[in-house]
Structure 1
Amino acid sequence: PFALMVHDLTQARVLCDIPAEAEALLTSPEAPIVLLRRRPGAPVAENVAPGNPNLGIMLPYTPLHHLLLRELDFPVVATSGNLSDEPICTDEQEAMQRLSHIADLFLVHDRPIARHADDSVAWVVLGEPRLLRRARGYAPLPVLLAQDVPTILAVGAHQKSTIALSVNRQVFISQHIGDLETPEALAAFERVIADFLRLYEVTPVAIAHDLHPDYLSTRWAQQSSAHLIPVQHHHAHLAACLAENGVSGPALGVTWDGTGYGLDGTVWGGEFLLGDAAAFTRVAHLRPFRLPGGDTAIHEPRRVALALLWELYGEAALERDDLAPVRSFRPAERQLLAQMLGRGVNSPVTTSAGRLFDGIAALIGLHQRVSFEGQAAMALEFAADPTVYKAYPMPLADALLDWQPLVEAALEDLRRGVSPGVIAARFHNALVEALLAVATMVGEKRVALTGGCFQNRLLTERAAQRLSRAGFDVLLHRQVPPNDGGISLGQVAVAAARLDDKLYMEGTHVPGCTGESGKH
């Protein structure tokens, strides 16, 4: 989806509904892109935000923007000057070299750009402004911790990369760097680190990084001579939510996303972690399933759907030509995938809630392939009928949330001709009820909702409201995104807690020890 820049609020109101909280965001000095509900019949080309009921709206925030929009007097698509997975170009020579095949004209000037900064992205959830991307206007403003901590450099995750640097109580978080997929992105990542260390004139006593051994951020950290502190991905999500909410005590962290390296070497992503910045216990998670083709399954939700069907029906799943994802594969492809699933070859095990969204979206025919991250899950959210409150069954047994009855019920609805909107809503409601069931079982009154799945408004609002009505204290992100853009803050919090742990300093505490119910 593309963002739109409008001349003023009058133009914005032609396109979108703008509640008071969103108007305050749009007109604030930070001037982020704000996600707003599109008005029926809004005069916007469909391919600006295909299939999306929302539009990203921003107001001019530089003199040049004001001049252009005053002259044009109509909304324009405003997007960053970069290719996918690459950082923004910061000089005209670089722009002409990297973007000449997609841009017809370049408007240049003689003021050098010191460093790249994307537009921040915000939305209003449950009446409060919250960030989805923290960059221009917000970075590197610090998040304040409850107390002073050692100077720690945190190098974030792989996607939606940010870095963070703690100085006393302050944690300075960088602008959004992007996905570390290209040499250009890695170079930008290294420049941001160098800038931070120079600007704040400090030397870190430790570097915190993700557990994943193949992340470029992890490899960069391992090349350093500094003391290294590996931090499990979902623990960092929980710690980030606690830190920005000023909470030091324990909470149940519902950490749902697409991918995170687990302590057992599998792909986590549908986790319930009970703990704080110092330690956690994995108290529940989604029933595991396989991802045939590994990362390829992220781009092809149909593979996830087939994996779910394989868990239910074995090889008989290959004969379900009545289902869109199965039908989309040629016979030879089905046989290859059957071998992968049957033998566990190139089919890593996952508990990912994000992939479960993908699989259900493919099953009901929304997307078999995607062109950008989260596309299938977004389509499932947008398809959901907001008037439906019935939920599919998703029983909790032995700390495992079993999605099999949910998938079976969805397939039965599909067979009966129930609309995709009803199926999508019942799926979302099932997750909300399952979340409440785990929270009730655990008994911790403080519940943090974190991870990329909580960029889903329907899931976030219904889960928070359901938990609040049941007497739980719900923590949501505000200052940093729930996605991997907040990981670096969590890494600082975890590393600081470990440095404060004398057992850890003496070498008797082993971060990343395994065990389903033990502390980590």
Structure 2
Amino acid sequence: MSAVTLLKILPGIKTAVQHHYAHALACMAEHRLEPPVLGIVWDGSGLGDDQTLWGGEFLLITAQGYQRFGHLRSFVLPGGTKAIMEPRRAALGLLYGIYNDNVFNISDLGFTAEELTLLKSAIKKLINCPQTTSAGRLFDAVASLLGLCPINGYEGQAAMMIENTASCCVTDRFYPFNLNTGKSIVVDWQETFEQIVEDRRLGFSPALIAAKFHNTLAEMMLCVAKLAEQKTIVLSGGCFQNALLVEKAVNSLKNAGFTVYCHEKIPPNDGGLALGQLVAANYLGH
């Protein structure tokens, strides 16, 4: 049963709390933090204020609420929820954002010719192809491009496989990316994925590519944090179940002078959402 349905049928005062805001508040509550805080909230997806699927968010948390300070660049997700179990769909949608129709000429995307024909039509007509800023789907895309996991055998398999693969390589190198300024900072991963595709073509090891990808994500967080000029940071959302990502992000941010808090007792994934929702309701006086 959806949250919207429950809001209609349950008695009492109801307050809607944005998904990623609740994630950040849960981590703040665990560590007894007060605003202002920069919440870096990365997960599979959650409905955003603009009715698109968020999941790569940088939220400035204040006593009055939150501001979407920045986010990862969005891309289409062919098949919508089907992409949760098929990382190859995230890879296709993301690369379509870079190469447009030329993506269908790239070999080894994990689809048959017939499947690609159907997906091309769906993408061009935007049939069940929602926009997303999901960091979780970026992990899926890389796992698929490296041939690690084009289709999940179980939930989260691709994310676990790319973390394990990255753990086999020690490097400080990261891929290029851009920050586009405007109403919100947009972290543009296009150069990152262009280079990943090139490294794959040149035969670099999946471990090196996966490790550089993790380093790149940590560098993205650091660059946005510097622009936000908020020294206290919380990391929340399902992507921070990835111990390697947490290690790299925390080390990078702390070395730059930030104070960083992660989940220790409360789950970073949706298991911790209820706590954040309670905190939000308390702020609103309910």
Kept in 2, the 8 Å contact 1:278–1:494? The answer is: no
2:147 maps to which residue? 365
Q: What secondary structure sits across from 1:272 in the alignment?
A: strand
Residue 257 to residue 361, structure 1, CA distance change in 2 (3 Å)? same
What does 1:160-171 correspond to in 2, within 5 Å? none
CA deviations over 1:287-339 (Å, ceiling 9, x no partner): 00011011011111111111112111111111112xx32xx212221111111
Unaligned runs of 5+ in 2: none
Distance in 1 separating the partners of 2:54 and 2:130? 11
The match for 1:262 is 48
Alignment of 1:200-349 (within 5 A): 216-276=2-62, 278-321=64-107, 324-325=108-109, 328-349=110-131
Report matched runs for 1:489-508 at 5 Å: 489-499=275-285
Say whether 1:481 aligns with 2:271. Answer: no
Work out whether residues 239 and 277 of structure 1, in 8 Å CA contact, stay in contact via their aligned partners in 2: no
Distance 1:405 1:494 in 2: 37
Q: Deviations over 1:363-383 (max 9, x none)?
A: 111111002221101111100
Q: What amino acid is aligned across from residue 251 of structure 1 in structure 2?
A: V
Does the 8 Å CA contact 1:274/1:283 hold for their aligned counterparts?
yes
Task: State which structure, 1 or 2, has the greater radius of gyration over its C-alpha atoms.
Answer: 1
Query: Is 1:387 matched with 2:170?
Result: yes
- 1:277, distance to aligned residue in structure 2 (A): 6.3
Q: Could you tell me how far 1:278 is from its partner in structure 2?
A: 4.2
TM superposition shift of 1:227: 1.0
Quick one: higher RCO (CA 8 Å, sep 6+), 1 or 2? 2
Report the CA distance between 1:251 and its aligned residue.
Answer: 0.6
Task: Output one character per residue of 1:413-462: Cα deviation in whole Å (capped at 9) or x when no partner.
Answer: 11111000000000000000000000000000001000000000110011
1:458 is aligned, of 244, 247, 251, to 244
TM-score by length of 1: 0.53
Matches within 5 A, 1:98-117: none
1:425 to 211, 216, 236: 211
CA distance in 2, matches of 1:373, 1:309: 23
The alignment of Structure 1 onto Structure 2 pairs a total of residues equal to 282
> Is 1:222–1:228's contact at 8 Å kept on the other side of the alignment?
no
Match of 1:412 in 2: 198
Select 1:378's aligned residue among 160, 175, 190: 160
Q: Contact 1:448 / 1:474 at 8 angstroms: preserved in 2?
A: yes
Q: Choose from 198, 222, 225 the match for 1:439.
A: 225
Within 1, Cα distance between the matches of 2:142 and 2:151?
13
1:85-132 C-alpha deviation (Å, 9 max, x unpaired): xxxxxxxxxxxxxxxxxxxxxxxxxxxxxxxxxxxxxxxxxxxxxxxx
- Secondary structure, in 3 states, of the residue corresponding to 2:248? helix
What's the Cα RMSD here? 1.2
Moved over 4 A (4+): none
Is residue 356 from structure 1 mapped to residue 138 from structure 2 by the alignment? Answer: yes
Aligned-residue offset at 1:466: 0.9
- Which amino acid is the alignment partner of residue 214 of structure 2? H
CA apart distance, 1:217: 4.0
Distance in structure 1 (CA, Å) of the matches to 2:155 and 2:105:
29
Question: Which letter maps to 1:387?
Answer: V
Structure in which a larger fraction of residues adopt helix: 2
**Amino-acid identity (%):** 45
Alignment of 1:25-36 (within 5 A): none
- Taking structure 2 as the reference length, the TM-score comes to 0.96
Q: Please tell me whether the aligned partners of residues 277 and 494 of structure 1 are also in contact (alpha carbons under 8 angstroms).
A: no
SS in structure 2 at match of 1:257: strand
AA partner of residue 252 (structure 1)? L
2:180 to 390, 393, 397: 397
Amino acid at match of 1:391: F
Q: How many Å separate the matches in 1 of 2:254 and 2:69?
A: 21
CA distance in 2, matches of 1:277, 1:449: 18
Q: Which runs of 5+ in 1 are unaligned?
A: 1-214, 501-520
Give the letter aligned to residue 368 of structure 1.
P
Distance 1:284 1:222, change over 3 A: same
